[in-house]
Amino acid sequence: MEGICWKVGRGTNISVINDAWIPVARNFRLSSVVNNLDDFKVAELIDNNVRKWKRELIANTFSEEVAGKILSIPLAEDPHDDFLAWSREPSRKYSVRSAYKLLQVSENDPRAYALQTDYNNFYKKIWLLNLPSKTKITAWKISWNYLATRVNMQHRKLISTAICPRCERGTKTMDHLIPFAAEALAAEALACRKAVQIRIDMQWPEIIVEGDSLIVIKKCKAKRQDKSLIGAYIQDIQQLRSRSKNFMFEYTPRTVNGLAHILATETLKRKEVFFLVGSAPGYADNQREIDSVHEPD
């Protein structure tokens, strides 16, 4: 059914070829040109011993672009049953508006919906927002696919290749530009999951997990099943929370948590992996003192 996609849990109910399950693929479904996979289930692509994708099998079976899309799908450490979700909203929740849009959009003219009254009102609301004009214009350009992606620039013969210079795999379309936003959100969720796991391992009596991603913090606080692209990680967090009490998740703007930002940035630069408990490296001492001023007594 158009608009419906599978969320991968165990993968036993999902056909690799015949079902829609890859979020960033066209129509969420693999092309039938992939041979000998008619009865193949997604579960056969997952190593359940470690709950990770079978990278070698996927790399040898699919094209590089499709393999990358599959490997970007998060897997929960505590697998759930496969379930269906609404593909036309980032939250994966059904809405009448998105269903209406789906009915109105022609496959050959994806911009047709912008002419509908509902979306004309949407544009009007954008211009009325108390935001910089640059932000409003960018939002408008995204809705009309007017951003200078490499695919658009190649189409206008401004460049010779559409390959993304950042990842060097796949063409840089609007959708490709958006899997990086999703990756950032996934990184935030993974960090929260790691923090919760450390609290359990260290047997601390209580913990406050602070993050500058309001979306992720809200999801961590919620008790309902999350159907978004990072739903697998949120489920792991909820499972870990159920083992103990005194977990708190708080949104903290980056401007008042510069220490975490410096530690993350410097760690990436130095390619170091380490854990800090009650202390900070010398290069972050000044920022630690600045942040402590903002902390409650």
Give the model confidence (pLDDT) of 133-167 as tens digits: 877 787 777 766 667 777 777 777 787 777 766 55
Query: What's the rounded Cα separation, in Å, for the pair 208 and 16?
Result: 40
pLDDT band at 108 (very low <50, low <70, confident <90, very high): very low
Query: What's the rounded Cα separation, in Å, for the pair 75 and 229?
Result: 10
Residues 214, 251 contacting (CB under 8 angstroms): yes
- In this prediction, residue 262 carries a pLDDT of 82
Mean of the pLDDT values across residues 193-210?
86
Choice between 186 and 146, residue whose per-residue pLDDT is larger: 186
| 42 pLDDT more than 90 | yes
* 46 membership: H or E segment, kind and range: strand 46-47
| 85 pLDDT more than 50 | yes
Q: Return the number of other C-beta atoms located less than 10 Å from residue 1's C-beta.
A: 6
Domain ranges within the chain, ordered by starting residue: 4-86, 111-175, 253-297
pLDDT in tens, 230-288: 888 898 898 888 877 778 899 988 777 788 878 878 887 877 777 777 777 888 877 77
Q: What 3 state SS string does 201-240 have?
A: HHCCCCEEEEECCHHHHHHHHCCCCCCCCCHHHHHHHHHH
Mean of the pLDDT values across residues 7-15?
91
Mean of the pLDDT values across residues 115-144?
71
Q: How many CA atoms lie within 13 A of 276 on its CB side?
A: 14
Work out the percent of the chain whose per-residue pLDDT is above 70: 72
Residues 118, 102 contacting (CB under 8 angstroms): no
pLDDT band at 61 (very low <50, low <70, confident <90, very high): confident
Place of tokens 């640059």: 134
| Per-residue tokens: 214 | 């309001």
Q: Return the number of other C-beta atoms located less than 10 Å from residue 42's C-beta.
A: 23
Whole-structure pTM value: 0.51
